[in-house]
Structure 1
Amino acid sequence: MATEGDYILSVMNELFSIEEVDNFVNHHHLAFLYISQTNCGVCHALLPKIKEVMSDFPKIQLAFINADHVPAIAGHLSIFTVPVMILYVDGKEVLREARFVHVEQFREKVKKIYFLTQE
């Protein structure tokens, strides 16, 4: 039987340290982080919807961080709630959404950024 962790790993790279997060963000033109916690119902309900949105933007590299496994991530990225979704372009944060996200509005914001960054 597949576990939630198996599902997450099939969707995104899972990062386990601040160094991995920084390397991921700095080594991809378009990098997206989904920060969650183990016992967060909103996080787990939203993840499949966000994964579906992001499937429309294949050049964006996706990563998942469980804040329970990387407690320092909250301070490192100034996170006060979960879930948090952050999109980076060339290492610079260009979009941040947290907690209750309107999926279609999120899709439109990502779409604008995505097409503005294509050469």
Structure 2
Amino acid sequence: MIQSKEDFNKEIKAHTGVLFYFATTSCSVGEALEPKVRALLKENFPKLMFRFIDMNQAPELSAAHQVFVEPTILLYIEGKEYLRKSRHIGLSELDMAISRIYDLAFK
């Protein structure tokens, strides 16, 4: 489980692409969207890692990355943030946004 800046940075260094999903287990929107985002990555973007960050367990990490609403998605490629989506996240919009970045990074 990712709970610190050190954990976060290790994930970024260990993988070319990481999608961080910030939410809490008490957020019904975040809970409903999480399996859909996981499935989207598995089906369309298999080279991206999915990492869940519980904002209640890692409030300092959330604040350090200016994540104050849930759910929030941050996509990092080669250590750099390329995508940030919060609250009302449409899967088709997310798919298109990731696709542009993914194609450049992995193909």
Q: Is contact 1:18–1:70 with CA below 8 Å preserved after alignment?
A: no
Give runs of ≥4 in structure 1 deviating > 6 Å: none
For normalisation by structure 2, the TM-score amounts to: 0.92
- Identity of matched residues, %: 28
What's the secondary structure of 1:88's corresponding residue? strand
Q: Would you tell me which structure has more helix in proportion to its own residues?
A: 2
Compute the RMSD of aligned alpha carbons.
1.1
What's the secondary structure of 1:117's corresponding residue? helix
Rounded Cα–Cα distance in structure 2 between residues aligned with 1:39 and 1:101: 18
Q: Which residue of 1 aligns with 2:83?
A: 95
For normalisation by structure 1, the TM-score amounts to: 0.83
Structure 2 residue ranges without an equivalent (≥5): none
Could you tell me which amino acid in structure 1 is paired with residue 31 of structure 2?
Answer: H
Shift of 1:39: 1.1
Structure 1 residue ranges without an equivalent (≥5): 1-13
Could you tell me which amino acid in structure 1 is paired with residue 69 of structure 2?
Answer: T
Shift of 1:111: 1.0
Could you tell me which amino acid in structure 1 is paired with residue 65 of structure 2?
Answer: L
Query: If you compute each CA radius of gyration, which structure gives the higher value, 1 or 2?
Result: 1
Rounded Cα–Cα distance in structure 1 between residues aligned with 2:29 and 2:68: 15
Matching residue within 33, 40, 59 for 1:71: 59
Count residues with an aligned counterpart.
106
Q: Which residue of 2 aligns with 1:118?
A: 106
Shift of 1:112: 1.1
Q: How does 1:15-94 map to 2 (within 5 A)?
A: 15-55=2-42, 56-94=44-82
Rounded Cα–Cα distance in structure 2 between residues aligned with 1:27 and 1:89: 11
